[in-house]
Structures are given as C-alpha cells and as structure tokens.
C-alpha cells in the first residue's frame, strides 16, 4: 500500500472511532436511561483533535512526524486498555470499535514506516 492509502485508512478508522464514542455510545446510553457519558464525549473529541492535527499539520509540529504518530498510537492504545479495564467485553459495538482501533494503530505504524523510507 502507498502512503495515500494509509492516510485514507487513518481517516476512515479515526472518524469511525470518534463518531462511535462521541455520538453512538451516548445515544445508546441516553436511550437506556443512563444519560450522556463525559468520558465518551472527551474520547471522541480527542480522536477528532488527533485527526485534525494529523491532516492539518500545524506549524508547531513541523519536523515532529514521529512524535505525532506515536502520540496518536498511544492515545488509541490507552482507549483499548481502558475498555479492557472498565468496558463490557461482550458488547459487540465495543469489540468492533476495538478492532477498528487496533487497525488504526497498525496503519499509523505502517504510515510512519513508509514515511521513514521515503
């Protein structure tokens, strides 16, 4: 795969994960009578921030490509670990989202490697 394909995959997987945390999970919680979840909202917003920074490349991150990739991968890994510690491991939405997040980490790593070779 080329870097353009990696970037497209990062965008799709990141948006999917952000929207699940920000909207879908909160809609399901409200529908079940629990109310909104601030941690889910913050997690979803965090993914949007990482995507914005990844694709906009603000000037303060020039020359820090590796740092950005590692931070995005770390943020995603923390989300996965938090789900294992606090989530419902039998929830199909959670399982699908965690698979998307694992793929996001893999694609971020591959994109980082592809950029190092270029």
pLDDT tens figures, 81-95: 999 999 889 999 999
pLDDT for 118: 58
Which of these ranges, 14-18, 35-39, 46-50, 114-118, has the smallest mean pLDDT? 114-118
> Token pair of 69, please?
């990739």
First CA to last CA distance, the chain: 13
pLDDT band at 60 (very low <50, low <70, confident <90, very high): confident
Tokens of 74: 């770390």
In the chain, beta strands by DSSP E: none
Rounded Cα–Cα distance for residues 58 and 68 (Å): 11
Percent of the chain with pLDDT over 70: 99
Cα separation, 53 vs 65, whole angstroms: 11
Is pTM beyond 0.75? Reply is: yes
Whether the Cβ atoms of residue 112 and residue 15 lie closer than 8 Å to each other = no
């Amino acid at each position: 795969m080329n870097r353009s394909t990696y970037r497209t995959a990062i965008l799709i997987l990141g948006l999917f994960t952000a929207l699940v945390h920000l909207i879908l999970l909160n809609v399901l919680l409200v529908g079940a009578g629990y109310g909104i979840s601030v941690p889910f909202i913050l997690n979803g917003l965090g993914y949007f921030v990482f995507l914005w920074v990844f694709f906009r490349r603000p000037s303060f991150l020039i020359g820090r490509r590796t740092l950005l990739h590692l931070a995005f991968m770390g943020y995603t890994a923390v989300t996965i670990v938090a789900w294992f510690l606090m989530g419902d491991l039998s929830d199909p939405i959670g399982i699908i989202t965690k698979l998307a997040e694992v793929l996001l980490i893999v694609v971020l790593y591959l994109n980082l490697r592809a950029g190092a070779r270029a």
